[in-house]
Chains A and B, each alone.
Chain A
Amino acid sequence: MQTPSTETPRLAVKGIRKAYPAVVANDAVSLSVMPGEIHAVLGENGAGKSTLMKLIYGVTHPDAGEIRWEGKLVTIKNPAQAREMGIGMVFQHFSLFETLTVVQNVALALPGKFDLVALAKRIEEVSERYGLPVDPRRLVHALSVGERQRVEIVRCLLSDPRLLILDEPTSVLTPQAVRKLFETLRKLAAEGRSILYISHKLDEIQELCHTATVLRGGKVIGTCKPAEETPATMARMMIGEDLPVCQHGDDSTHGEVRLKLEGLSRVAEDPFGTDLKDINLEVRSGEIVGIAGVSGNGQQELLLAISGEEPGASKRGVQICGVPAGRMHSGRRRGLGMCFVPEDRLGRGAVPRLTLTENTLLTAHRHGMLNHGLIRFKTARRFAEACITRFDVKCGGSESEAKSLSGGNLQKFIVGREIMQNPKVLVLAQPTWGVDVGAASFIRRTLVELRNQGTAILVISEELEELFEIADRIVVIAKGKLSPIKATSQTGVEEIGIWMSGLWPGAEARKKDSHVA
């Protein structure tokens, strides 16, 4: 690892404060980044990392504090000015335009002459130089997430930034793609560019970064050299306490098949969606099956088909507890003992403007909350309150609106609501996405407990570590097809990572326009 130089810091932030109506997102935050340094900003969701980056990139403005750029005091009014100064940012959710081509997307972010042919050539040069293969002529919607990220990075590099900000860049990548990205980042740092690397993944920070600033609750908790720390010590700084370990338990008690997918195929309704092709899967009582995959490979379509939001054509495509349910709508499927937690929590998992009690009614009304079609509000409220207590949901009580909860707390409530219905089959998409580390570990432990009580659980997740932590068996979805299934103990991150590119034994040769990185 190259040691960063010790001249004037490229960027020095001092005493930054930013308050929103409900929360102080940044309070007296200071950090400095040297030329050639890869600097990690570490913290849980809601610790204020993204706010800090938005302040540096000029998307929002600080209430107090100062920003020095290469020694000079500056006020960054907007992203255009930040870019002019030499700051580039790769957003977590990608600020790309799907209906435009790669070269058009890049042109939008660059000042100066509008010459797409010359620009395409420059894109090819830069992508070759840094090992970031992209085809400038393709439409963005046809690109995989990995490719999209490369487009974002290339777009930043074309404006020759001296500071590059990356916001959770690896959350959508396969382990192999992560390694390639790290090579690129090291090359950039060796050229003297500074990198701000935002993440909550400790092992990555240890591998890549020279220094780390740890944020918790909007404040800087400390600065450390990741190479001299262990993931456990950094986790303690980040969370403030030790992380409980998830006890997996043995997987001997496989009972009967509770959820069965048989030859499930369907053409996606969204023209940019992924078609499902001949999906076969069995989930037994007392086991957790994990579906891994890079997002956009058919997870959403599969979830809609299982939940019944879009009933299919074949009765036997989805079977719940032995009943062919392929054509049933979601209400009847729930009646058979299936519960599910959708990926999109505001809008699908909960109605934003309804109270938690009312949101409870939406899925748990089968559990004694109705009296000849009239609502027993007392029972519903008791259920909601029990859920809030048991799952430690931080909110203003059972009568607060769903949208007033933070993402992590709402997720805890939704997962709790489904678990408390004692489902025979539980299907979850991204159960801990956007949830802080402590709560995520709690949700995982609860899932394992539920499995030990005999529930059949299917988890669709993009977080490989999570699947390896809780799943008994693991399967990969790529381009709308399922890989062979493997016991988690008999495979590893490496193998599953390769499978996530669609390359499992017996898979047909990869097409050029594949959906995976």
Chain B
Amino acid sequence: MDQSLFTSILFATVVAGTPLIITALGELVTEKSGVLNLGPEGMMSVGAVAAFAVTHHTGNPWLGILAGMVAGMLMSLLFAFMALTLMANQVASGLALSIFGVGLSAFIGKSYESVALPSIVPMRIPLLADIPYIGPALFQQQALVYFSWILIGLVAWFLYKSKVGLILRAVGESPVSAHEIGHPVILIRYLATLFGGAMAGVGGAFLSVFYTPMWVEGMVAGRGWISLALVVFATWRPMRVMIGAYLFGGAMITQMFVQGSGLKLSIPAQFLSSLPYVATIVVLVLISRNLKTIRLNSPASLGQPFLPDA
């Protein structure tokens, strides 16, 4: 394989995986607290359109990212209010949030459909970017790509090394016990849900501001659902979320290269397009089929409402 092809596939893989990592890590924290929010697709959509609009009007992509984050948080706040305060069914509320978010983003985005944003110059990390083959692919990226790497470490550290993370996992495992020993279950679940919303918003913003700097209705294109699936198949572990996201991104990019290469293949294009989904799920299922690790890492109270004893 010649250098430029390898480097560009790797580069594109990292870019494609980034919004998935950010969104999935947010959802992971939410689910670890026992809340099942099926709304990432909607939160990403609203985050994407908010970020696009603010970037377009201010000319500042960072304000745009911030707006995406806030929009995602507001969406998750709506969900949290329904599911945690009003004790509505989490699955139904989450699905409703996704449908609502996709629709709302299309409505807001109508007037931005023909607008394009200037593309943003990537952030080059000196020295590291000079490594042959992988340097230009990994270290000449958008700042949010580096952010996603830091986020993996932060989330892992938070969950497994910090006390608040321990409390969050305890709430997800047994809210009744956590309440009995004096932890504010509902507050912790609220915060975890808001973090999930914020990250989904940033994930969406990455799509509309950096990945394809324009707004198209339905541009999130199922990435929210993929993030959701990644969390489950990665058995709620941050490192595996990254593996899954890059696997999906890599398979996606590779099949696009194959389809675009003009190779005369007797494989239907639809089959190639479905490969990334199949490959990601198969690999993640294979690496995490140990029942014991699933039991140890999955939040036992996932999706169950907690009603404190009055």
A residues contacting B by CB (< 8 A) are 54, 59-61, 78-83, 89, 91, 94-100, 104, 107-109, 114, 139, 271-272
Contacts and interface: CB of A to CB of B under 8 A. Distances in A.
B173 A98 contact: yes
Interface stretch (B83-91, B161-169, B226-234, B251-259): B161-169
B1 interface: no
A91 B163 contact: no
A91 B179 CA distance: 12
Given A91-B180, A97-B170, A97-B173, A114 B309 contact: no
11 contacts: A54-B309, A59-B309, A79-B179, A79-B180, A79-B182, A95-B178, A96-B177, A97-B170, A100-B173, A108-B181, A271-B292
B68 to A, nearest CB: 33
A107 B166 contact: yes
B296 interface: yes
Interface in B268-302: 291-292, 295-297, 300
Contact of B177 (A81, A95, A272): A95
Contact of A108 (B183, B297, B310): B183
Nearest to A89: B180
A114 B174 contact: no
Contact of B180 (A59, A271, A272): A59
B299 to A, nearest CB: 9
B174 A95 contact: yes
A437 to B, nearest CB: 26
B295 A272 contact: yes
Given A83-B182, A99-B295, A108-B166, 13 more contacts: A79-B180, A83-B181, A89-B180, A94-B177, A95-B177, A95-B178, A96-B177, A98-B300, A100-B166, A100-B169, A100-B173, A108-B170, A109-B182
A439 B292 CA distance: 41
B204 to A, nearest CB: 32
B310 A60 contact: yes
A481 to B, nearest CB: 22
Interface of B: 162-163, 166-167, 169-170, 173-174, 176-183, 291-292, 295-297, 300, 309-310
A77 to B, nearest CB: 10
A463 B162 CA distance: 42
B31 to A, nearest CB: 14
A94 B179 CA distance: 12
Contacts of A108: 166-167, 170, 178, 181, 183
A109 B166 CA distance: 11
Contacts of B178: 95, 97, 108
B296 to A, nearest CB: 5
B173 to A, nearest CB: 5
B128 to A, nearest CB: 34
B310 A97 contact: no
Contacts of A83: 181-182
Contacts of A94: 177
A21 to B, nearest CB: 10
Contacts of B297: 99
Contact of B163 (A59, A82, A114, A139): A114
A100 B170 contact: yes
Contacts of A95: 174, 176-178, 180-181
Contacts of B180: 59, 79, 89, 91, 95
B174 A97 contact: yes
A493 B177 CA distance: 33
Contacts of A109: 181-182
Nearest to A98: B173
A212 to B, nearest CB: 25
B131 to A, nearest CB: 38
B173 A78 contact: no
A108 B181 CA distance: 8
Contacts of B291: 271
A139 B182 CA distance: 22
Nearest to B176: A95
Contacts of A89: 180
A96 B166 CA distance: 13
Can you list the 5 inter-chain pairs with the closest CB atoms, starting with the nearest? A80-B182, A95-B177, A114-B163, A79-B182, A95-B180
A99 B182 contact: no
A225 B33 CA distance: 47
Nearest to B183: A108
B65 to A, nearest CB: 32
Given A104-B166, A271-B291, A99 B181 contact: no
A81 to B, nearest CB: 8
Contacts of B309: 54, 59-60
B295 A107 contact: no
Nearest to A114: B163
Contacts of B310: 60-61
B184 to A, nearest CB: 9
Contacts of B174: 95, 97-98
Contact of B181 (A60, A61, A79): A79
A427 to B, nearest CB: 28
A456 to B, nearest CB: 36
A94 B181 CA distance: 11
Contacts of B179: 59, 79
B47 to A, nearest CB: 32
A83 B182 CA distance: 9
A169 B163 CA distance: 29
Contact of B182 (A78, A96, A104, A272): A78
Contacts of A80: 182-183
Contacts of B300: 98-99
B233 to A, nearest CB: 18
Nearest to B180: A95
B298 to A, nearest CB: 9
